[in-house]
């Protein structure tokens, strides 16, 4: 038995086999080969495997996002099977007597450059696809799994670190837990673990080797430990804890259908955060009153090119319809910083967290913004949708956003497409500047949602991605708590309602405080809704205020 330690970012026990996740990116070396014909055979086998993978991805995507969203995987199959591409690879292997990986990478570069230099926008857009299929074939040559979880049973995913664009592709049903060597407590791997309600450990020195792959292990998210090849007595003890957890969940089940009201009659909305339509099942299972944060950027991260209006419309409509009359707050794309999509071609920045991101990208590229707004507005005819804008720092920004929303509404009116004319607009409060002008901002919008993940990073000057700073990161810093009170007061004075959608919203040790501050909503990972409801039902806010006053 090997015992490794790390930092637990979500509690719970997972028992299962380890799956070492391989990065998609590869470095390709030029190597001489003796037998070019054998190398061509290797290439052909990899090509066939890539087509098989794409067929499987196409089927999966049809089920998850519909035919329109799945088309890309069909297009990629044709590209892998393209005669010119195949001839070029074979020609390089034969004439230069080199390895297939190198020949594929060379061909990929030639085709990529050829497409990106074309004037036609459609063909230009295909350059990214060429890059993608090239990486896939190289990956197949290396026997890799293109980032998919190659296992029939659910596994514990072990990785160096995981980018949002990688986790978005994973089949969530196959994940029991995450263990990463790097990553910070506020990274998106942690957020994903919370959404899925599974234990996760970061900063764990686990070897990412073939020997570890497939071994039985226990992840203990209470202790922050991973047990590889656990001894029988440890396994028996952890199985008992796991069973207790299952029992606890069953008790919480009894809270389903209850109103979120305190002992002295104060009501609060408990909504869920999601990043994907696949999370909708969890939202309903956990009895969320609505969706308080739909991280729409995950649609962009899961694509090889800008998602079209139709693709986005289909997704937003599905969310709105699934939630029926319940509120669905869609946050416009929050790309940049730790959430990168190649095709945005964002400049390399010294300080990406303070760089061109989120609403700044939208305001400098109004066409990308308008495509998303059109899709959201059209979907608003099918349910109860609100729109929320991230990373706001000024009233002028909000005024400009509202003008753009009006322009899009007018365009829809002109072509007679229906949408919710009274759609609620809100802003995220995640910069200290927004806190200081909360009341002025509140006069412009219907609601606020506090992004405590970013607000903490910008207030404490602590990069949320930097694991070396976790010891300085005080989520309960008094400066931050004062800000949270200022925000809700400013919101109410300016006539807006206020919620919290950052991770702090699910911190049960602060629930009473948030109720006392007067928050109207908390939006949390689906699995945190029922534990939160339990605290709300057991709280007497006036008693709590009295106790606090006496201390």
- CB nearer to ligand PEP: pick between 101 and 334: 334
Query: Which of 146, 262, 372, 452 is close enough to bind ligand PEP by CB under 6 A?
Result: 452
Please report, for residues 41, 117, 440, 479, the alpha-carbon distance to residue 503 in angstroms, rounded to integers and kept in the order given.
51, 44, 25, 17
For residues 283 and 527, the answer to whether their CB atoms sit within 8 Å is no
Judged by beta carbon, residue 398 or residue 480, the one nearer ligand PEP is 480
Which among 140, 204, 362, 501 is annotated as catalytic? Answer: 501
Smallest distance from ligand PEP to CB 334, Å: 5
d(CA 396, CA 399): 5
Smallest distance, Å, CB 148 to ligand PEP?
Answer: 25
Which range, of 81-89, 364-372, 452-460, 474-482, touches ligand PEP by CB under 6 A? 452-460
Question: Which residue's entry shows tokens 């939006």?
Answer: 523
Q: Is 362 a catalytic residue?
A: no
Q: Which x/- pattern over 432-451 shows residues binding ligand PEP (rule: CB under 6 A)?
A: -------------------x
Q: How far is the CB of 393 from Mg ion (least distance, A)?
A: 13
Q: Could you tell me the strand order of the sheet in which 7-10 lies?
A: 2-5, 225-228, 216-220, 13-20, 155-159, 175-180, 200-202, 7-10
Question: Rounded to whole angstroms, how far apart are CA atoms 496 and 448?
Answer: 7
The partner in contact with residue 452, picked from ligand PEP, Mg ion, none with C-beta cut-offs of 5 to 8 angstroms by kind, is ligand PEP
Backbone CA torsion sign across 83, 85, 91, 93: negative
Residue 501: active-site member: yes
Of the two residues 28 and 496, which places its CB atom closer to ligand PEP in the complex?
496
Q: Which of 58, 76, 112, 188 is catalytic?
A: 188
Q: Which of 454, 507, 520, 521 binds Mg ion (CB under 5 A)?
A: 454
Using alpha carbons, select from 476, 524, 530 the residue that is nearest to residue 191: 524
CA distance 359 to 224: 37
If the CB atoms of residues 125 and 432 are measured against ligand PEP, the closer one turns out to be: 432
For position 528 contacting ligand PEP by CB under 6 A, the verdict is no
In angstroms and rounded to an integer, the radius of gyration of the C-alpha atoms of the chain is: 25
404-433 residues in contact with ligand PEP (CB under 6 A) are 430
Q: Which of 200, 197, 195, 171 is nearest to 183 (CA)?
A: 200
Closest distance between Mg ion and the C-beta of residue 150, in Å? 33
Strands 2-5 and 447-450: what pairing? unpaired
Closest to 387 (Cα-Cα) out of 335, 331, 320, 318: 331
527 binds Mg ion (CB under 5 A): no
Note whether 451 binds Mg ion by CB under 5 A. yes
Binding site for ligand PEP (CB under 6 A): 293, 295, 334, 430, 451-454, 501-502
Binding site for Mg ion (CB under 5 A): 430, 451, 454
Q: Cite the active site residues.
A: 188, 501
């Amino acid at each position: 038995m090997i015992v490794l330690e790390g930092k637990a970012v979500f509690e719970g026990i997972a028992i299962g086999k380890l799956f070492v996740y391989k990065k998609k990116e590869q470095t390709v070396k030029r190597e001489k080969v003796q037998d070019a014909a054998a190398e061509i055979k290797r290439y052909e086998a990899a090509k066939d495997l890539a087509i098989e993978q794409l067929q499987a991805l196409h089927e999966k995507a049809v089920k998850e996002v519909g035919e329109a969203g799945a088309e890309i995987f069909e297009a990629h199959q044709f590209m892998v099977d393209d005669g010119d591409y195949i001839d070029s690879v074979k020609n390089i292997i034969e004439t230069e007597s080199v390895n297939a990986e190198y020949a594929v990478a060379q061909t990929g570069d030639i085709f990529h450059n050829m497409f990106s230099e074309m004037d036609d926008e459609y063909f230009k857009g295909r350059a990214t696809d060429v890059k993608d299929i090239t990486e896939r074939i190289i990956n197949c040559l290396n026997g890799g799994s293109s980032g998919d979880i190659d296992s029939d049973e659910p596994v514990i995913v072990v990785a160096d670190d995981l980018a949002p664009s990688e986790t978005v592709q994973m089949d969530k049903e196959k994940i029991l837990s995450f263990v990463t060597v790097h990553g910070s407590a506020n990274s998106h791997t942690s957020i994903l673990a919370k959404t899925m309600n599974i234990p996760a450990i970061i900063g764990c020195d686990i070897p990412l080797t073939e020997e570890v792959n497939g071994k039985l292990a226990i992840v203990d998210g209470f202790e922050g430990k991973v047990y590889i090849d656990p001894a029988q007595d440890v396994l028996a003890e952890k199985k008992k804890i796991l069973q207790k957890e299952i029992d606890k969940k069953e008790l919480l089940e009894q809270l389903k259908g209850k109103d979120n009201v305190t002992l002295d009659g104060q009501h609060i909305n408990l909504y869920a955060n999601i990043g994907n339509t696949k999370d909708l099942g969890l939202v309903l299972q956990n009895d969320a009153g609505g969706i308080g944060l739909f991280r729409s950027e995950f649609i962009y991260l899961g694509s090889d090119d800008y998602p079209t209006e139709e693709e986005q419309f289909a997704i937003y409509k599905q969310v709105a319809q699934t939630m029926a009359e319940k509120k669905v707050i869609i946050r416009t794309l929050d790309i940049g910083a730790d959430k990168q999509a190649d095709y945005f071609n964002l400049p390399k920045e010294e300080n990406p967290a303070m760089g061109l991101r989120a609403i700044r990208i939208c305001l400098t590229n109004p066409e990308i913004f308008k495509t998303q707004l059109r899709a959201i507005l059209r979907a608003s005819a099918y349910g109860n949708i609100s729109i929320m804008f991230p990373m706001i720092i000024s009233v002028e920004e909000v005024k400009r956003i509202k003008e753009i929303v009006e322009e899009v509404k007018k365009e829809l009116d002109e072509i007679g497409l229906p949408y919710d004319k009274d759609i609620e607009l809100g802003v995220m409060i995640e910069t200290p500047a927004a806190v200081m002008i909360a009341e002025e901002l509140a006069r412009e919008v219907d609601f606020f949602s506090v992004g405590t993940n970013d607000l903490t990073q910008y207030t404490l000057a602590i990069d949320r991605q930097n694991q070396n700073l976790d010891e300085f990161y005080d989520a309960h810093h008094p400066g931050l708590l004062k800000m949270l009170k200022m925000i809700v007061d400013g919101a109410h004075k300016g006539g807006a309602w206020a919620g919290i959608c950052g991770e702090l919203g699910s911190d049960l040790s602060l629930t009473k405080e948030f109720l006392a501050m007067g928050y109207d909503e908390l939006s949390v990972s689906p699995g945190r809704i029922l534990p939160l409801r339990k605290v709300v039902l057991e709280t007497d806010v006036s008693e709590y205020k009295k106790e606090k006053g006496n201390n």
